[in-house]
Structure 1
Amino acid sequence: MDITVKKLGCEVRGIDLKFENRSEIIDQIKQEVLKHRILIFKDQGNISGERHVEISKWFGELESTFYKHPRSPHPDVFRVSNDRSEGCTGVGRSGWHIDGTFQPAPFAYSLYHMESVPKEGATLFVPLTELIESLDKKTYELWNQVWMISDRISGCVHPLIYKHPQSRKSVLCFHLGMTTGFIWNYNQPSERNVTEKECQKLFNSIYNSINQENGKFIYTHKWKPGDFIISDNLAVGHFAHSSTQSPRNEVGLRVLHRTTVKGLVPPTK
């Protein structure tokens, strides 16, 4: 397994995911995902939906809460596209996030395969530990007192900053497009809901911190045919570039397959 470290994560060559089943290699892949947070497997060709699911199960039980598009190759594969007849559109465009914040425990891993690669349509990733470590004291203390309310349906409440269940490094539980509010000092005597003005200030603070110094922490992945990505969902935030929804007649067909692995540890302080 040949690994090339990038700005965030690393590129992997010399592994054919369509056939790899050696336990020692699978164990090494798991270790490298924890270490690098994103593994970009190059030159994988087209991986079937069934095989995509098999690879995902190396990491645990799948969580398939998404809409089942009729063109999806497997019930556990989320199919997204820039053409609604081919897949779900507008996915990942509501704001920077990790997947599954509406669950008691957000998804542990997300695995992506671009079945049809357009001329444009990048996915952006940001390392959450480095983002937190870059904050000034005042901003860190502000974020560290806040718990996010994921949405009105699930009602899940999670600390914005908490420790990753494996690495024990500080990470974020956040979704700038689905969060409906924040709570100060949840389950403490000083608990209270944030005001609308405070909520917007927090959204702006998170967004501006991610984009500080022209996005110095952001890794922009420009998809190539055969790319397959395994990401530690709890350690990196991501966002779909606006070009992911560019018309098919301008950039070509975009079809991305994604699976998500069930989280086991709810975020806690």
Structure 2
Amino acid sequence: MTTHETKLPPIDPTRAATIEEFGGEITALDPIGVQVSGIDLSSQDAPPSEVVDVLEREMAERGFLVFKNEKQLDAEDFLRASCLWGGKELHSTHGVHPETPGGNPHIFRLSNDERHGIPDVGPQWHNDGSFLPATFSHSGYHIIRPAENGGGTHFAHQGLAYEALPEDRQERWGRLSSVNSASGVVHPLVHEHPLSGQKCIWLHLGMTGAVLEKLPGQDGFRLLHADELKQLCHEYNDILNAGLTHGYAMAYEYSENDCVFIDNLAVAHRAAPEAHMPVEKQGLRIMHRSTVKGVQNLAPGFGLPLHVNIDGPNPAGEGVWQGGGVGFRWEEGIPMRN
């Protein structure tokens, strides 16, 4: 797949001034994301609404925020900060590891050592909460202990990835809708971001059980066959991977006590391969994740329903229709746990 260089515009100076008036500073990361300093997430007092609005807009346009925290944050600080965005409240669907502080059900504790957290999560490009009609609006990551030898997260800007697609691919992908393999929820492969207005691609490579194509120029739909769905997943994986060299994705390495918040409709993410390497090789890694209630349904177009019975009979008779945890395996031998 060919692609081209894409780039985000500089941070709006009016927005930067709003943050500076509050005593903070925002700096664009290269090539995507924003670093925030001077805002104390350990404070019980929330930043003013105009500051939150600016930061949420920057997340929508640049993908994610990194807070460099001078004070050590506890679990409640992190969860309180998570509720600044999107639906303004936590929506948690994960398991709780025994080492989770206070057994808090809103903390998803991840690690490369199963004694300290849940291992092997998120190896393929995905967005959180794809099994929900209103997917999580944002996700948060608090870095308790970064691995000494690296192992961060890859982030890819899905609006810039859409722009990097050839026009014929943009048109076809705009007629595709994915079916979540665990819940049967239907999402568009291309959506318009509610804040930025950008067209963004969106597909969970670890939980897709079917893809429906609106027939061009006529009524009706068809299911992609196995070879077509395999090709689609590879193309999606390739276009996001290409961002690492073409200016719309990055491999972010964490520092201790970093808080990262992502706009879950604007960026895809995956754990870096090093993040799952054994402690003996990488050192111990511990991260806390939060997920924030969605604001609106990520609804498909063309009159499609929000939900279908992926565990029932194939409605079309032909094509991939596969329920279950990881759904369609688009490449044998790769880790698919999400």
Whether TM-score is above 0.5 comes out as: yes
User: Helix, strand or coil: the match of 1:210?
Assistant: helix
1:240 aligns with 2:271: yes
In structure 1, the partner of 2:199 is: 170
Deviates more, 1:83-92 or 1:168-177: 168-177
5+ residue gaps, structure 1: none
TM-score (ref. length: structure 1)? 0.93
Cα distance per residue 1:161-219 (max 9 Å; x no partner): 01112222211231111112211118x83211110111001011111111237632221
Q: 1:33 and 2:63 equivalent?
A: no
Q: Which residue of 2 aligns with 1:230?
A: 261
Distance of 2:265 and 2:273 partners within structure 1: 23
Q: Distance in 1 between matches of 2:53 and 2:197?
A: 20
1:18 to 22, 26, 42: 42
**Secondary structure at the counterpart of residue 208 of structure 2:** coil
Q: Distance in 2 between matches of 1:44 and 1:230?
A: 17
**1:117 Cα shift?**
1.1
Matches within 5 A, 1:122-133: 122-133=152-163
Aligned to 1:118: 147
Instruction: State the shift of 1:9 in Å.
Output: 1.1
Q: How many Å separate the matches in 2 of 1:34 and 1:205? A: 24
Instruction: Kindly indicate whether residue 247 of structure 2 is the aligned counterpart of residue 221 of structure 1.
Output: no
Counterpart among 25, 47, 52 of residue 2 in structure 1: 25
CA distance, structure 1, for counterparts of residue 79 and residue 249 of structure 2? 28
Separation of aligned partners in 2, 1:164 and 1:200: 26
Distance 2:77 2:137 in 1: 19
Distance 1:214 1:165 in 2: 25
Residues 79/122 of structure 1: CA separation in 2 closer, same or farther (3 Å cut):
same
Matched residue, 1:201? 231
- Residue ranges of structure 2 left out of the alignment (5+ in a row): 1-23, 302-338
How far off is 1:30 after superposition?
2.9
Deviation track 1:116-168 (CA, whole Å, cap 9, x = no partner) reads 111211100010110001111121122111110111x3111111001112222
Among residues 50, 59, 72, which one is paired with 2:100 in the alignment?
Answer: 72
Cα RMSD after superposing both structures? 1.8
Report the alpha carbon displacement of residue 238 of structure 1 after superposing the two structures with TM: 0.5
Alignment partners' CA distance in 1, 2:167 and 2:279: 46
* Distance (Å, rounded) in 1 between the aligned partners of 2:122 and 2:231: 22
Q: Residue 212 of structure 2 contacts residue 223 of structure 2 at CA under 8 Å; is this kept in 1?
A: yes
2:212 corresponds to: 183
2:168 and 2:286 mapped to 1: Cα distance? 42
Q: Which residue does 1:259 correspond to in 2? A: 290
Q: What is the alpha-carbon distance in structure 2 between the residues aligned to residue 238 and residue 29 of structure 1? A: 20
Q: 1:96 aligns with which of 125, 135, 139?
A: 125
Indicate which of 120, 124, 145 corresponds to 2:175.
145
Q: Would the aligned equivalents of 2:40 and 2:71 in 1 still touch at CA under 8 Å?
A: no
If asked which structure has higher relative contact order (CA below 8 Å, sep 6+), I would say 1
2:80 is the alignment partner of 1:54:
yes
How far residue 34 of structure 1 moved from its aligned partner, in angstroms, is 3.0
| Residue 83 of structure 1, CA deviation | 0.6
SS in 2 for 1:211: helix
Alpha-carbon distance in 2 for matches of 1:213, 1:52: 29
**Which of these two proteins has the greater Rg computed from alpha carbons?**
2
Verify the 8 A CA contact 2:159 2:199 in the aligned structure 1.
yes
What fraction of aligned residue pairs are identical, expressed as a percent? Answer: 32
Q: Contact 1:106–1:262 (CA<8 Å) still a contact in 2?
A: yes
